[in-house]
Structure 1
Amino acid sequence: RLEADRMRHLLLKPEDVVKEAQVVAEERRLRTEDQPEALTHERFQAAAYVTSPYRNPIIGWMQDIESIQPDDLRRWYQQWYAPNNATLVVVGDVDPAKVRELAEKHFGPLPTSELTPPRPVVEIPQQGERRITVKTPAEVPYVVLGYKAPTLKTAAEEWEPYALAVLDGILDGGNSGRISRNLIRGSQVAAAAGTGYSPSSRLEGLFTLAGNPAPGRKSMELEQALRAEVAKLREELISPEELARVVAQVTAADVYQQDSLFYQGMRLGILETVGLGWNRLDDYVQRIQAVTPEQVRTVARKYLTDDRLTVAMLEPLPQDGQRSAAPGTAMPHAAH
């Protein structure tokens, strides 16, 4: 009842909008502007994408938050907050018939909205490596590398996202992953490092590697070490033993996540909302188990290339001293 009421009957009083904008601005300051790594990652996203909406932070840019007007919010709310533009997900020990009855009771009477499908957004092809440096007060440097990578929604071949998920596990599969084994415990070039990849995004995503150089080591050393690990995957087939270990880890992680009702709900909702269908990953484990060493090398060669790469480096400034650039200033070296 509460969700149905606020779906179509939010008042959006001007004084409430002003107060909430201040709350959101403060949240942005705490979570992004005052967090050097979060700020770097935000600027990294903006550099990696040119036309994709993924270049904009979910919370919004500060100037947008500070200039938002009640009428702007009201138009957006009336257009998009409608039952025919919502996905209701209920997970747990429930009676489906009762859930449907309640949904029809509370959401059924609400007026729908005339929805205009969003125009297709196609990120313009990247034609070379991009680099930015973010100068802001910080204690330690930070390095982010991101390669444009397909998702379940955009991949040319259906198996590619699953191969990328396995590749993610090869590099960052806990203590046995290559990054931990080779860069943190081995060469000790990294104090901390990891990877990230989401196969369920609606648009083309990023396969990322990020970390902090170890004390006494330079950011460029860490970047080169991360790129060297990627190069190995392009050049060499992984062994059947390593593949089996990683597949077991990725499979186990997926199974354990199912213990969380929150995770189940989020996964089902995301899949349905982006247009993949709520049951798209029912065969996720089988798909992961079918990945071959050749497929891992193929996606590494196809997608983890310099022409698809964006690099961001956090260059720490003294936290209490004078600085030559404004906080969070991103200094682009080259963009294509």
Structure 2
Amino acid sequence: MKQKTCKVAKTVLTLLLCAGLTAGSVPIDALAADVQSEQPVGGTETDTEAGTEGNTQSTGSVSDGNVVIKEREETGTESGAPQADSVSEGDGIALISLEASNTHIATYTGKIPEGITWAADVTVDTFSKSYSVVTAKAADGTSYTVEVVPEGIVYFIDNVTSDFSETTTEPYEAVKTLAGDQLINKVYDQQKTADTAWGLVDTDATTKKYNNTTTDKTATGIYGNNAIGETLSYDLYLEAGTYTITSGHREWWDKTRPMDVLLKTDAGETTIGSVSVSKSVKTAQFSYTFTLDTAQTVTYTLKSTAKQAP
């Protein structure tokens, strides 16, 4: 992807993970990574459920773009029934169904969605938090679900199942419609293989039960195994540039889930911080800014530092 000539050449990658929830879930909703020209941002999601624990989501981004990856966790593996193909409308809104496409949309941080006459209380501040999900009403009373992402986003990965059985998701389709060809990931999530530029590295991830609900990024996710040192990783191809990667995390089962965050580049792997979710802190977000001198594949990893799965 060609690097844009922006006044501030910074890219933001967002990863949404759910632990015992979405291992990347901040917005603990899904996994996504994005690239933006200003400060790093992220979102959070919340959800609770009795059962197994640990899940993650992540996303990658490219120069002056955004990437979001989301993962979730559940007890056992369960695939959701595929949805109908997404559809694009002339008004620039795309989603899984025509009905959903009319009300689930996306906008850039700090910008009011165009093409709709909004109620008087809907202002720029309504959409001020990147990776948040906002419910806003139009002047005619219609309620909209709005995904807020940074401008320049290049990856928006929404983790739903470890077998990628869904056709697509509403959050991904909304952001894809907004960002267009700027998004590197042409599908909501996928497995990393020798033939793909990005995707989930792990092959033993488990899916959190979600009853085939794909509208909420935080409703589900993927998680690893319960063991100290267990990891969940995403590979993301990035051009040379400066990026901010943000991961969102959510705890679904009231466990305490501490994780180290690692980033591997051509220069080696480094622990860049830590993040934790628990019964008292249901959602959390982690952001990190780094610069790549050459195009390469980076690996973003969550590593459990206690017995709960990442």
TM-score (norm 1): 0.23
TM-score (norm 2): 0.24
The structure carrying a bigger helix percent of its residues is 1
**Rg larger in 1 or in 2?**
1
The structure carrying a bigger strand percent of its residues is 2
